[in-house]
């Protein structure tokens, strides 16, 4: 039987145009600017391709995926308000124009009349040639990728192809890097999915769908490492969460290459299962990242450690994270029962006073990622109770302390250590050695090795119900243990020949915080002032340097002394001096009702085997404000039975409430041996 020869399917004009998309890139002289050769398309082919791309945006618009989040382009501005002002080359006007182009929003406003797309592209390409591709650069490339359809109305053919080549070059640079890095999520997965969806008329862009899904799957498979990488820079965490939410909407819609007829049914089932698994993994990681983002969000919506002052200047893009179509609102949809009340409490919209966390389905109030070296300690999720955040990934750790809605301390806590007139530098990173959390306290202990065998041990504790903050640094040496092992009691382990230690730490106060020192005692108040008039508004914290004498006219011993003052560059400077080893604690009361009450603090006598211990071996303190009293004890020598104020114990650290009337102790935390 004769058969007719099967004729090959004739390509349409748009398909012919779409095949001609190979873009050659080459560096231009020393600045390595990426320039693409002109597309080989004829004028008719370019017109056909352009029309098809624009028609695709009408057939399946972004609104069908992201709803009202595309209005005014805020979808692609999610998370950028948390970036420091020096980390981006985009000005607000240019960024808003480009994100509006990316979502098809109007750009007819007067503020956009001076926008020059060609100049923006040149700056973008030049920036890629001057430096390594950072996460902010990757995000810029993503926005350019999303704006490619809209830029057809603003660029000529050669400029458009050149920009597409640059975007693809950025994506190619990231291939082969750590698959759990945020750049893999934004730069490989999201850029690829965005191009595959927005420019699906181009075969070269459609083919990116498979590699993008693979990159997303690898990122989700190692969720612990992916979350850690997202938290490694707190300023970037919102940007990573925003990317994950956008990918969540794209992953099920972006087409993948058609399977062969033989495996079509099996491939379809596999694709459906893999898409379901990806969506589930995205939701789980999204819930965890949203919890962290909420914990690091101030009541005004800014991010912890932000370098802008909300009292005087608010980034225009902050509303893109906070509005009804903003990042936080969309993130809350991942788990409304848990995340919505947490976000509302962080923003001060709801009160949780008197309600336990499980009653309102709130997340845990202490978060700690040891690999990212980030700690969030919340007395409650209600921002009115304040919060403490520690970032210890660098040699100089960062601290942010909030009293109610006021940020008191934010930034790098610079520490200096001089031993026998020789500066001692850190020789290693901070590591967490102990953490504890319950209904009474959040506690974390960090450690950093220094030269000459010394170690800096740092304790940070939040007393949740008492609304107090405790910070202490201990300078200890490994030789001390050797002396004790040779049957030398702790009282003899340090003598007059021990080295002299000079210690300082600088706490960065925020711009609107001013101090109110007491005239006769060494404590002081931290107050805030009005951003416009500069007049003081109220007290927020009572700061007591426990290792210093309470009264200013008291005699400081030559072997152990401490001072506290405010520097000209708006830092709280705490300095102390000692022999052999040194412990420098700081107690901050954040409960306003106690500010007008009488207060005192004392160093207590510590005994061991009927002998008094020097402060280099162990110290204890009593703090009293009104009727509230607390006891603190810290050992810097091997464990042994110790006695202070009628309390007998063997512990490395101890904190308790003391009831003077009942002569009883209510233990808050005991660290037996760390």
Q: List, for residues 216-256, the tens digit of each pLDDT value.
A: 999 999 999 999 999 999 999 999 999 999 999 998 787 66
Is there a contact between 377 and 444 (Cβ–Cβ < 8 Å)? yes
Tell me the C-alpha distance between 427 and 444, whole Å. Answer: 21
Question: 82-91, 250-259, 371-380, 458-467: which range is least confident on average?
Answer: 82-91
CA dihedral defined by 95, 98, 101, 103, rounded to 10 degrees? -60
* Model confidence band, residue 17 (pLDDT cutoffs 50, 70, 90): very low
Instruction: Provide mean pLDDT across the span 487-500.
Output: 62
pLDDT value of residue 2: 46
In terms of Cβ atoms closer than 10 Å to its own Cβ (0-12, 13-18, 19+), residue 523 is buried
Classify residue 217 by its DSSP letter: H
Question: 59-68, 326-335, 647-656: which range is least confident on average?
Answer: 59-68
pLDDT value of residue 31: 34
Q: Is the dihedral of CA 191, 192, 193, 195 positive or negative?
A: positive
Is there a contact between 456 and 474 (Cβ–Cβ < 8 Å)? yes
Please determine, for residue 356, whether its predicted confidence score (pLDDT) is greater than 60: no
In terms of Cβ atoms closer than 10 Å to its own Cβ (0-12, 13-18, 19+), residue 598 is exposed
Left if phi > 0, otherwise alpha if psi is -120 to 50, otherwise beta: which for 635?
beta
| CA distance readout (Å), 139 to 75, 192, 236, 486 | 13, 13, 10, 60
Tell me the C-alpha distance between 456 and 146, whole Å. Answer: 49
What DSSP string describes 576-607? EEEESSEEEEEEEE--GGGTTS-EEEEEEP-E
Q: Tell me which of 3.90.1720, 1.10.3470, 3.40.50, 2.70.98 is the CATH number of domain 365-597.
A: 2.70.98
**Residue located via tokens 């914290």:** 541
pLDDT value of residue 20: 46
* Model confidence band, residue 261 (pLDDT cutoffs 50, 70, 90): low
Please determine, for residue 158, whether its predicted confidence score (pLDDT) is greater than 50: yes
For the chain, the maximum distance between any two Cα atoms, rounded to a whole number of angstroms, is 117
Instruction: Provide mean pLDDT across the span 43-67.
Output: 88
Q: Is the dihedral of CA 239, 241, 242, 246 positive or negative?
A: positive
| 40 C-beta neighbours (distance < 10 Å), count | 11
Instruction: Provide mean pLDDT across the span 185-196.
Output: 96
pLDDT value of residue 139: 95
In terms of Cβ atoms closer than 10 Å to its own Cβ (0-12, 13-18, 19+), residue 92 is middle
pLDDT value of residue 28: 39
Residue 674 vs residue 4, higher pLDDT: 674
Which H or E run contains 461? Answer: strand 454-463
Residue 261 vs residue 594, higher pLDDT: 594
pLDDT value of residue 64: 85
pLDDT value of residue 22: 40
What's the pTM?
A: 0.88
Query: What's 491-545 look like in SS3?
Result: HHHCCCCCCEEEEEEEEEECCCEEEEECCCECCEEEEEECCCCCCEEEEEEEEEE
Is there a contact between 79 and 242 (Cβ–Cβ < 8 Å)? yes
């Amino acid at each position: 039987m004769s058969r007719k020869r099967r004729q090959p399917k004739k390509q349409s004009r748009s398909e012919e145009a779409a095949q001609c998309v190979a873009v050659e890139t080459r560096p231009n002289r020393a600045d390595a600017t990426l320039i693409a050769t002109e597309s080989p398309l004829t004028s008719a082919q370019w017109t056909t391709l352009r029309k098809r791309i624009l028609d695709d945006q009408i057939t399946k618009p972004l609104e069908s995926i992201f709803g009202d989040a595309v209005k005014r382009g805020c979808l692609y501005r999610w998370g950028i308000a948390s970036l420091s002002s020096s980390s981006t080359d985009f000005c607000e006007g240019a960024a808003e124009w480009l994100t509006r182009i990316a979502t098809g929003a109007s750009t007819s406003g007067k503020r956009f009349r001076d926008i020059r797309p060609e100049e923006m592209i040149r700056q973008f390409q030049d920036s890629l040639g001057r430096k390594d591709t950072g996460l902010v650069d990757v995000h810029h490339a993503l926005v350019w990728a999303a704006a490619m359809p809209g830029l057809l109305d603003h660029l000529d053919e050669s400029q458009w192809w050149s920009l597409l080549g640059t975007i693809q070059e950025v994506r190619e640079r990231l291939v082969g890097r750590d698959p759990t890095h945020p750049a893999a999520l934004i730069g490989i997965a999201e850029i690829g999915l965005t191009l595959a969806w927005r420019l699906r008329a181009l075969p070269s862009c459609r083919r990116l769908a498979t590699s993008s899904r693979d990159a997303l799957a690898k990122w989700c498979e190692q969720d612990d490492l992916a979350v850690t990488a997202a938290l490694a820079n707190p300023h970037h965490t919102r940007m990573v969460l925003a990317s994950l939410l956008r990918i969540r909407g794209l992953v099920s819609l972006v087409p993948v290459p058609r399977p062969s007829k033989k495996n079509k049914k099996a491939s379809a089932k596999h694709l459906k299962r893999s898409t379901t698994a990806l969506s589930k993994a995205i939701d789980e990681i999204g819930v965890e990242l949203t919890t962290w983002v909420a914990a690091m969000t101030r009541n005004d919506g800014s991010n912890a450690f932000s370098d802008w002052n909300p009292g005087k200047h608010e980034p225009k893009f902050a509303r893109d994270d906070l509005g009804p179509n903003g990042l936080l609102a969309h993130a809350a949809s991942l788990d409304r029962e848990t995340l919505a009340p947490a976000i509302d409490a962080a923003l001060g919209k709801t009160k949780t006073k008197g309600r336990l966390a499980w009653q309102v389905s709130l997340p845990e109030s202490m978060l700690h990622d040891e690999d990212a070296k980030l700690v969030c300690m919340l007395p409650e999720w209600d921002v009115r109770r304040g919060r403490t955040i520690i970032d210890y990934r660098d040699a100089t750790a960062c601290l942010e302390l909030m009293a109610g809605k006021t940020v008191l301390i934010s930034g790098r806590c610079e520490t200096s250590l001089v031993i026998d007139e020789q500066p001692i530098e850190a020789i290693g990173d901070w590591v967490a050695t102990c953490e504890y959390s319950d209904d009474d306290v959040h506690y974390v202990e960090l450690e950093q090795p220094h030269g000459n065998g010394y170690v800096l041990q740092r304790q940070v504790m939040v007393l949740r119900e008492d609304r107090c903050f405790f910070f202490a640094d201990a300078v200890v040496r490994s030789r001390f243990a050797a002396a004790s092992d040779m049957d030398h009691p702790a009282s003899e382990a340090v003598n007059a020949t021990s080295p002299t230690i000079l210690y300082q730490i600088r706490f960065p106060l925020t711009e609107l915080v001013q101090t109110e020192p007491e005239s006769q005692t060494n404590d002081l108040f931290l107050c805030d002032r009005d951003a416009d008039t500069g007049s003081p508004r109220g007290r927020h914290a009572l700061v007591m340097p426990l290792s210093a004498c309470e009264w200013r006219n008291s005699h400081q011993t030559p072997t152990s002394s401490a001072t506290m003052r405010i520097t000209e560059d708006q830092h709280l400077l705490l300095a102390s001096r000692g022999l052999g080893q040194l412990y420098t604690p700081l107690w901050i009361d954040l409960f306003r009702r106690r500010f007008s009450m009488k207060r005192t603090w004392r160093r207590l006598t510590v005994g061991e085997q009927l002998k008094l211990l020097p402060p280099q071996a162990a110290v204890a303190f009593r703090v009293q404000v009104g009727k509230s009293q607390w006891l603190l004890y810290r050992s810097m020598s091997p464990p042994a039975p110790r006695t202070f104020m009628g309390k007998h114990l063997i512990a490395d650290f101890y904190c308790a409430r003391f009831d003077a009337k009942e002569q009883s102790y209510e233990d808050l935390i005991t660290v037996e041996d760390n």
